[in-house]
Amino acid sequence: MFDSFIRLVRDIYQTDQFIPLHEPRFLGKEKQYLLDVIDSTFVSSVGPYVGQFEAKIAEYCGAKHAIATVNGTAALHVALLLAGVKPGEEVMTQPVTFVATCNAINYCGAEPVFVDVDRATLGLSPRALADFLAEFGEQRVDGVWNKRSGKRIAACLPMHTFGQPCDMLGLLQVCERHGIPLVEDAAEALGSHIVGSNSFDPSAVSANEFAPTPATKHAKYCGTFGKLGVLSFNGNKIITTGGGGMILTDDDELARQAKHLTTTAKLPHAWRFVHDQVGYNYRLPNLNAALGLAQLEQMPLFVQRKRELAERYIAWANDAGVEIVVEPVGARANYWLNALLLSDEAERERFLTDSNAQGVMTRPLWELMPNLPMYSHCQTDDLCNSRWLAERLVNIPSSVVS
Taking only the tens place, the pLDDT of each residue in 110-167 is: 999 999 999 999 999 999 999 999 999 999 999 999 999 999 999 999 999 999 999 9
pTM: 0.94
Is residue 402 situated within a structural domain? no
DSSP code string of 159-206 = B-GGGPPP-HHHHHHHHHHHT--BEEE-TT-TT-EEESSS--BTTSS-
CB 395 within 8 A of CB 21: yes
Assigned domain for 358 exists: yes
Domain region containing 7: 2-396
The DSSP code for 121 is T
Average pLDDT in the 239-263 region?
98
In a domain, 151, yes or no: yes
Task: Return d(Cα 335, Cα 312) in angstroms, integer.
Answer: 12
Q: Domain total for the chain?
A: 1
Q: What is the CATH number of the domain that holds 21?
A: 3.40.640.10
Beta strands in 306-386 (DSSP E): 323-324, 331-332, 338-341, 363-364
Distance (Å, rounded) from C-alpha 233 to C-alpha 237?
6
The pLDDT tens digits of the residues spanning 321-366 come to: 999 999 988 999 999 999 999 999 999 999 999 999 999 999 999 9
| Element of type H or E holding 356 | helix 345-357
Yes or no: say if 333 and 309 are a contact pair by the CB < 8 Å rule: no
Strand 111-114 with 363-364, pairing: unpaired
β-strand partners of 247: 67, 230
Domain assignment present for 24:
yes
pLDDT of residue 209: 35
Provide the strand spans (E) within 65-192: 65-69, 90-93, 111-114, 137-140, 143-146, 152-157, 183-185
Given a cut of 60, whether residue 208 has pLDDT beyond it is no
Q: Is residue 401 part of a domain?
A: no
Query: Do the beta carbons of residue 303 and residue 25 sit within 8 Å?
Result: no
Residue 306's alpha-carbon distances to 236, 302, 319, in angstroms, are 14, 6, 20
